[in-house]
Structure 1
C-alpha cells in the first residue's frame, strides 16, 4: 500500500511515524512545502524572546534522523498543487527547481495545517510588519530585531500567539502595545477570567487597546491606525489575528468543506472521499459537549489525530474512533498561567443556554497548596456545569499548579464526569503540592451546593447590573473591613452574626459577601435557616473588585507611576535606612498586623520593603497607610508575590507620596469581653490587633466568662475557700479549654476549627493573646469584682494583665472612639 502524507509538521509527522510502526511493508511518502518537518512551532515566541536560546532546540528531530529511524521518503520544498481523485494521483511542484511531476497513491492523508490571517488593509506589506507561523517567519523577526533594535512594537491580535509574543517582546526590552478587536484578550476565557490576565499584562508594562481593530498601516508601517481613529507610532508590527485552514487543495479536489472552510471528516478522520483522510488544523471535528462541530487549531489534537488515523487506513475501516476535541489549552502570561478546557460561558450563551436554568458555575480562589506551607500562591478557578451535574468546562488562572488542575478536569470531561465525580476524586496530597481538599474537589463541593439548593449564588456581573436589588452584607472581620471598606455595605462579622440577627430586616434581600466566598456561604446558610432572604456573592469581594475596578485601576496606575517617580526623585536625595519584612503565607489580617508591629519600631523616615502572598495585600496596605499617616512609596507584584515599600511617617515631601494622610489617628478603642467562647474571643483579639496596626490604642476589659482568656494554662497552687474553688472550676484555664458559641459538638467543633486555622496559616488564638499581652498599645484589664465573685487570684492570670474596676473601664470608654461589647 502506498500512502502519501501532505504536510510534515505535527499531525503529518506523527502519522508517518505511527504508520511505519504499524506496517513495515507500507510505502510512505511525506511531501512538505516548507524546508523543515517536525519542528516545535509552539516554541517560536520563546525563541524570539530569548527564553529558548538555541534555534536548533526547536527541531523535534532532524530530517536525516527521521528518515533513518523510520525508513520514510520525505521531500521538503515539495508543494502538492492538485489532487486527481479519479486517477488517485497528486501533482507535485519542486519549489527549488520548479519541476512538476505526479505521484500515485492508494491512501492520501491531508495535513496541510493553517495559515495566519492577514487582513486586506492598506500597508500590511510593510517591511517592518510580520506574521509568526513558521521557522522562516521566526528567522525574519529575529533578524529584524537584531539588526534594527526596535524600541516600540505593536502586536495586533490577543489570542495565544499574540499574548505570548507580547510577553517575549517585553522580555527583549521592547515597549509593546497589544491591540484586540474584541473587548478582551484570550478568546477561550470568559471576561471575568481574562480581566485577571489583562490587569497582569498592564502591570508588566504592556499597553492594551481593546475593542479596536486594525484600520491600516501608514508611513512604511510606522503608524498603526485603529478603527476608532487612534494612531500608534510603531517600529515593528506583528499580525496575530487568527488562522485560516489551508483547505484550498481539498476544496479544488471537490472534498466536502464546512461553513468556515475546514475539511469535513467522520469519526474515523475520513473525508467525503473514502481514500482520503485529513488531520490537524485543516479539519473540523465533533464537539462532544453540546453535539455540534468545531475546529481546534492546537498541537495536541493534531498529534492525536495523526496517531488515530493510521489504524483506520491500514484496516480500511474505523478501528480508532476520534470522539472530538474539548480544546484543552494552557498558556504562560508573564508570571501567570492561564488554562481552559471544554466550553466557556460565552459559547454556552451563543448556543442558547441560560445561566441559572441550563447551566451554572462555581467560582473559587484557593491557594495552589496549603497556605501554611511556604510559597502558597493563589489561583482563580471557574467551573461550568449543566443542570444534571455534567461538567461542561473550566478556566483557571494562577501562578502554580494550574496545569495540574485543568488536566484533572479535562479528564473528567472526557469521561463525561459530573461535579460529584470532582468532589469524590481522591487526589495526591502533601503540603508542598496541594491540600486535603484540592481546588478541584472544592470546585465540585461548591457546584454540588448550588445544584442541591443549599446556596443561591449571585454573580458579580448580576449584582453590578442590578445593585439596588440587594442589601450588601459584609461578614468579614473588622480588621478586614478597616483595611478595605465597601461603601454602602452593612457590616456584621460572621463571628457575631448569630447574636446580631435582630439588626437585620426579614423583608430585605441580603447579598452576603466575604473575601473569596467561603465564609459568605456559611453566613448565607445561617440566614436562610433563620428565615431571612439571603444570597451569596459568587467569588466574594475579590471577584467583585476585579470586575468593577479595571478602568479606575488603570487611571490610578498611571497616576501612581507619575507620583512615585516624583517621590523617588525627591525622597532619595540622601541615603535611606531600608529594612525587609517577609509576611508570606499569612492570611488577612496577618500581613497588615505584622506591618504595623514592624513599623512601630522604626525611626521616622526609615523604609521597610514588605513581601506578601495574600492577594488582598496591595489594597489593604494602601488603606493602612492612608489611615496611619505612613507613606506608601511603591506597590508591585511578580511571581505570585506582592511587594510594598513603606516609609514611616510622611517623609520630606508629603505631596510626593503615593498614599499619605494627615495626622495619624489617636482615638482609643474599648472592647469589653464578656464571652468565654473561642470564636468570640478570637474576634475580639483580631479587632484589637487590627486597630493597633492602624495606629490606635486599645483597652480590653475582661469580665465574667471572658476572664477565662486571661487564666494561665497550668494550675497555680493557691489556697481558696470551698465556694471559690467551685466557681473557679467552672472557668476554663486559658483559651485551650474554650468551646464555640454555636454548634460546639461536645468540644469537637473547636478542635476542627483549630485544624482549619492551622491548615490555612491563620494565627492561633493563643498566639494572638500572647501578642496582645506584649503589645504596649493594648491594655488588658481583668474586672476586680468578677474576679472576687469567681474566686480568681491575680497569680492565676497571665503576665501583662492589670486589675481594674468598672470606673476604670468607663473612663477608658469615655476616651474611646467606640466601645464594643462582645457577649
Structure 2
C-alpha cells in the first residue's frame, strides 16, 4: 500500500507516525510546503516573548529525524498543487528546484491546516504588518524586533493568539494596543467572563479598543498609522494581524471534494471525505459538534492529533473507529490570568435556541486558611431538563486547568451537574478545599434544579424596567458604602430575620452579596418565611461590578511622543514628587481573603497606626484594587500606589490626619445633587438648586444617572457605533436637552414648549443656559459611567465640561456635603 499525506504538524505528522506503527511494509510519503513538519505551534508567541529562549526547543522532530524514526519519506518545501481522483495521482511542485512531478497513491490524507485571514483593508500588505501561523512567520517577527527595536505594537484581533502575543510583546518592553471588532476579547467566552479579562488587561497597562475596526493602514516613515472606524488614529512601529483563520480548502475544492456549511472539508464519522480513498484531519475539516449538532471547524491541536490517530486506524484496519467530535476545550495564559473554556458558551446556546440555565460562582483555588489561595470565577451552563452539562468557563490565577479538565471529561461523557456534586477529588489544603470548586458548581446548580434557589443574571437587572425588582444588598454596611447596585436597600443577612416587615411580598425581590453565598442564606430564610418571588443574583456584586465598569481601555498612550533623540516620552502627565520622611511601615498579608476581608483587615490595621505611617498590603481578591482606592477617598487616607503581579495586588496606604467634625461626612460644606429624571421641570429644579448652592459658596456636584443622562447630551453629536440595546435606548429617550418633556401636563410636547416660552417671557434662563452657567460657576457635572455603559451613551455624545465618574466619585463628593438631594 502507498499512503500520501499532505501537510505536517499536528494532524499530518500524527497520521504518518500511526500509519507506520500499524503497517511496517507500506510506502509512506509526507509532503510539506514549508521547511518544518513537526513543531510546537502553540509555543511560537512564547519564543517571540523570550519565555522560550532556545528556538530549537520549538521542534518536536526534524524532517530527517522523523523520516529515520518511522522509515518514511519526508519531502519539505514540496507543495501538492492538484489531486487527480480518477487516476489517484497528485501533482507536486518542488520549491527548491522548480520541478513539477506526479505521485500516485492508494490512500490520501489531507492535513493542510488553516490560513490567516487578511481582509481587503487598504494598506494591509505593508511590510510592517505581520501574521503569526508558522515558524517562518515567527522568525520574521523575531528578527524584526531584534533589528528595529520597536516600541509600539498594535494587535488587530483579541483571540487566544492575539492576547498571548500581547503578553509576550509587553514582556519585551513594547507598549501594546489591541483593536477588536467584537465588544469583548476572547469570543469563546461569555461577556461577563471576558469582562474579568478586560479589567486585568487594564492593570497591565495594555490599551484596547473594543467594538472598533481598522479601516486603513497608512505608512509614514517607520510608523504605521491605523485609521479606525470610530475616527481614532493609532500609531505603531509594527502591526500583528490576529483576526482569525479559515480552513485551507484550496486542494479539496479543486478536487471537487464536498465542502461543509462552514467552509471546511466535510468528513464522515470515519474522517473520510466524499471520496472514500481520501481522508482529512486537522484545522481544514469540519465536523458535527456533539452539543449543538451543528457542523463546524475546531482550530485546536488536541483534536487534530486524535483525528490523525483515528484516520490512520481506519485506513489500515478498515472503517471501524469513529470520531465523535470535539467539545472545544481550550485554555490560555493572559498575563497573570488563566482563561479556560469547554463546551458551549451561553451566547451560542441562546443563538441555537437550546434550553439552558447558568450559574456563576467565585471560589478559591484551595483552602482559604492555607497561604496562597487565589480567587477564580467559574461559570457553568447546563440543561434545565436533567442537568446535563453543556459548557463551562473559568477565569482565575491557579488551579484553573485541572477544574476545566475535570468538567470537560464529564461533559464529553454526557455527565450531569449531579456528577459534579459526587465527584471525588484529591484534597489537601495546598491543593483544594474539602468541597472543590467543581463540587460547589454542582451544588449551586442542584439547588436551582431542585427549586431551593432561583438565580437571576446581571443582564436581567440591567434590562428590567425601573421598579420591577426590589434589590437588597445583604452585605455589611461597610461593604455597602464601598459600592453597591443603584437603588438597592442594605439589609445585612444577620439582620434579615428581624426586618421582614421592610421586604415587600408583592414584588420580585433580588438578593445579592459579594459572590452569592450570603445571598443564598438570605434567600433560604425568606423562602421559609413565605416569600415566593425571591431571586439570588448569580455571581453577586462582584460579577455585576465587572459588567458595569468601563470595558475598553482606549487612548492611554495618546500622550506618547518620540523626540529627536529617538526616545519615547510621555507628555501631559503630572510628575508628582513626594518628600521622603522616616515613616513606620507595616506589612499586611490578606491573600486568600475574599471581599470584604481585605478592606476590613486594612481598617483594623490602620487604626493601630499614627498619621504618616504606612501599610503595604497584599491581597488576591481582584476587587481590592478598586475597593482600596474608594476606601482611601472615603476615609481621608492616602493611597500611594497599587501594583499587580501574578494575581497579587500590593497597595501602599499612608494613614492620613483624622478628619475633624467639620470635615466629617455629616459636617462637610458641599452639596451633591443626583439627577435621575429626564423631565424638563425636574432638570430645571435641579439646576436652580445647584446654582443656588454654588452661589452660597458650596462646592457643588451634580451626578447624572440613567434617564438624567439625556440632559447632558449634545444637540449636534458625532456618529458613534452602538450595540442593539444602545441604539434602542437612543431611539426611545430624548436625543438632547431641547427634547425633554414635562413630567406633568406635557400634552405631547406642547407643554414643554409652553414652559420654555413662559420662561423666556419672564426672563428666566433656558435649561441650556442654566447648565452652561452652572459649569462656569464651578458646579461639577458628573455622568455616571455605569449608567452610560448600560444605556449605550458615549463620552463623545455629552456636552463639554461633563466628566465621567462612578459610585466612588459620588460617595467622595457626598462625604464632604451636608446637602444631598435626589431628583
* TM-score normalised by the chain length of structure 2: 0.76
User: Is the contact made by 2:84 and 2:90 (CA closer than 8 Å) also made in structure 1?
Assistant: yes
2:613–2:654 Cα contact (<8 Å) kept: yes
CA contact (8 A) 1:223 1:233 kept: yes
Residue 426 (structure 1) aligns with: 424
Residue in 2 that maps onto 1:491: 490
Please list, as runs of the form range in 1=range in 2, the aligned pairs for 1:98-117 lying within 5 A after superposition: 98-117=98-117
**Residues 661 and 242 (structure 1 numbering): CA distance in 2 closer, same or farther, change over 3 Å?**
farther
Query: 1:277, 1:181 → 2: CA distance?
Result: 36
Map 1:306-325; keep pairs closer than 5 Å. Answer: 306-315=308-317, 317-325=318-326
* Superposition deviation, residue 650 in structure 1: 5.8
State the Cα distance separating 1:371 from its structure 2 match.
0.6
1:526-559 deviations in whole A, cap 9, x for unaligned? 1122122311111111011011122599899999
Cα pair 2:151 2:237 within 8 Å, conserved: yes
Deviations 1:438-475 (A, max 9, x none): 11111111111111222221101110111531111111
Alignment length (residue pairs)? 652
Paired residues of 2:473 and 2:484 also in contact (CA < 8 A)? no
| Secondary structure in 1 matching 2:542 | helix
For residue 489 of structure 1, report the CA deviation from its aligned partner: 1.9
How far apart are residue 486 of structure 1 and its match?
4.5
Q: For residue 520 of structure 2, what is the aligned residue in structure 1?
A: 521
Q: CA deviation at 1:525?
A: 1.7
The superposition leaves residues 182-241 of structure 1 with CA deviations (integer Å, 9 ceiling, x where unpaired) of 111101101111111111112111111111112111125611112222211111001111
- 1:563: how far off? 14
Match of 1:255 among 254, 257, 276: 257
- After superposition, the Cα gap between the structure-2 partners of 1:69 and 1:133, relative to the gap in structure 1 and judged at 3 Å, is same
- Tell whether the 8 Å contact from 1:630 to 1:661 is kept in structure 2 after alignment: no
**Of 372, 389, 393, which residue of structure 2 is paired with 1:395?**
393
CA deviation vs aligned residue, 1:266-309 (integer Å, no higher than 9, x gap): 00000000000000000001210121212111111111101111
1:571 Cα deviation from its structure 2 partner: 2.1
1:471 maps onto 2:478 in alignment: no
Whether the 8 Å contact between 1:328 and 1:339 is mirrored in structure 2 is yes
CA distance in 2, matches of 1:569, 1:548: 31
User: Could you give the per-residue CA deviations for residues 672-701 of structure 1, whole angstroms, max 9, x where no partner exists?
Assistant: xxxxxxxxxxxxxxxxxxxxxxxxxxxxxx
C-alpha contact 2:110 2:281 (8 A) present in aligned 1: yes
Contact preservation (8 Å) 2:468, 2:507: no
Correspondence for 1:592 among 599, 603, 608: 599
Match of 1:670 in 2: none
2:288 corresponds to: 286
The residue correspondences of 1:365-404 to structure 2 (distance < 5 A) are 365-388=362-385, 389-404=387-402
Contact kept in structure 2, 1:631 and 1:650, CA below 8 Å: no
Aligned counterparts of 2:365 and 2:108: Cα–Cα separation in 1:
47
Aligned to 2:587: 580
Q: Which residue pairs with 1:9 in the alignment? A: 9
Report how far residue 397 of structure 1 moved.
Answer: 0.4
How many Å separate the matches in 2 of 1:151 and 1:95?
36
Query: 1:555/1:156 Cα in 2 relative to 1: closer, same or farther (>3 Å)?
Result: closer
Partner of 1:772: none
Q: Tell me how far apart the structure 2 counterparts of residues 125 and 551 of structure 1 sit (CA, whole Å).
A: 31
Contact 1:497 1:523 in 2 (8 A): yes
Moved more, 151-160 or 627-636: 627-636
3-state secondary structure, aligned to 2:93? strand
The 5-angstrom pairing of residues 204-243 of structure 1 reads 204-219=204-219, 222-243=224-245
Distance change in 2, residues 1:187/1:486 (3 Å): closer
Aligned to 2:629: 622
Structure 1 pair 106–563 and aligned structure 2 pair: CA distance change class (3 A): closer
Contact kept, 8 Å, 1:628 with 1:664, in 2: the verdict is no
Q: Distance in 2 between matches of 1:422 and 1:131?
A: 41
Distance 2:611 2:471 in 1: 40
Change (3 A) 1:107 1:563: closer
Task: Quote the Cα distance in structure 2 between the aligned partners of 1:374 and 1:524.
Answer: 32
Which 10-residue stretch deviates more, 394-403 or 506-515?
506-515
User: Residue 409 in 1 paired to residue 395 in 2?
Assistant: no
C-alpha RMSD of the superposition: 2.5
Distance of aligned partners of 1:465 and 1:556 in 2 relative to their CA distance in 1, 3 Å threshold: farther
Matches within 5 A, 1:439-450: 439-450=437-448
1: CA distance, partners of 2:297 / 2:347: 16
Question: In the alignment, which residue of structure 1 is the partner of 2:800?
Answer: none
Per-residue deviation, 1:311: 1.1
Is 1:647 the counterpart of 2:645? The answer is: no
Q: Secondary structure at the match of 2:261?
A: coil
Q: CA deviation at 1:497?
A: 1.3
Residues 334-349 of structure 1: pairs in structure 2 closer than 5 A: 334-349=335-350
More displaced 10-residue stretch of structure 1: 219-228 or 63-72: 219-228
Pair 1:248–1:609, CA change in 2 (3 A): same
Report the Cα offset of residue 574 of structure 1.
5.4
Deviations 1:38-72 (A, max 9, x none): 00111111111111111111001222221221111
Matched residue SS, 1:36:
coil
SS at match of 2:9: coil
**Counterpart Cα distance in 2 of 1:88 and 1:563:** 67
Q: CA deviation at 1:413?
A: 1.0
Aligned residue number for residue 694 of structure 1: none
CA drift of 1:137 comes to 0.5
Bigger mean CA offset, 203-212 vs 270-279: 203-212
Q: Deviations over 1:77-128 (max 9, x none)?
A: 0100110101111111100000011111000000000111111121111111
Is residue 298 of structure 2 the alignment partner of residue 296 of structure 1? yes
Contact 2:7 2:113 in 1 (8 A): yes
Structure 1, 634-643 or 541-550: larger mean CA deviation: 634-643
Residues 175-194 of structure 1 mapped to structure 2, 5 A cutoff: 175-194=175-194
CA–CA distance in 2 between the matches of 1:571 and 1:531? 59
The aligned runs of 1:537-552 (5 Å cut-off) are 537-550=537-550
- Using a 3 Å threshold, how does the CA distance of structure 1 residues 363 and 587 change in structure 2: closer, same or farther? closer
Give the Cα separation in 2 of the matches to 1:346 and 1:551: 18
SS at match of 2:101: strand
Report if the CA contact (8 A) 2:7-2:31 is conserved. yes
CA offsets 1:701-746 (integer angstroms, 9 cap, x no match): xxxxxxxxxxxxxxxxxxxxxxxxxxxxxxxxxxxxxxxxxxxxxx
Partner SS for 1:202? helix
- SS at the partner of 1:437? coil
**Alpha-carbon contact 2:67-2:74 (below 8 Å) kept:** yes
Quote the offset at 1:431 in angstroms.
Answer: 0.7
**How far did 1:488 drift?**
2.6
Counterpart residue number, 2:702: none
CA apart distance, 1:580? 2.4
Correspondence list, 1:661-676, <5 A: 663=663
Moved more, 490-499 or 592-601: 592-601
SS of the residue 2:418 aligns to = helix
Task: Please state whether the residue corresponding to 1:374 is helix, strand or coil.
Answer: coil
1:335–1:639 CA contact under 8 A, matched in 2: yes
Partner Cα distance (2:539, 2:43) in 1: 34
1: distance between equivalents of 2:540 and 2:650?
23
Q: Within 5 Å, which residues of 2 pair with 1:777-788?
A: none
Separation of aligned partners in 1, 2:557 and 2:207: 12
| Structure 1: gaps (5+ residues) | 655-659, 668-823
Provide the secondary structure at the position in 2 that maps to 1:222: strand
Structure 1 partner of 2:84: 84
Give the deviation of 1:636 after TM superposition: 2.9
Query: Do the aligned residues in 1 keep the contact of 2:227 with 2:234 (CA within 8 Å)?
Result: yes
| 1:645 Cα deviation from its structure 2 partner | 1.2
Distance 1:486 1:181, change over 3 A: closer
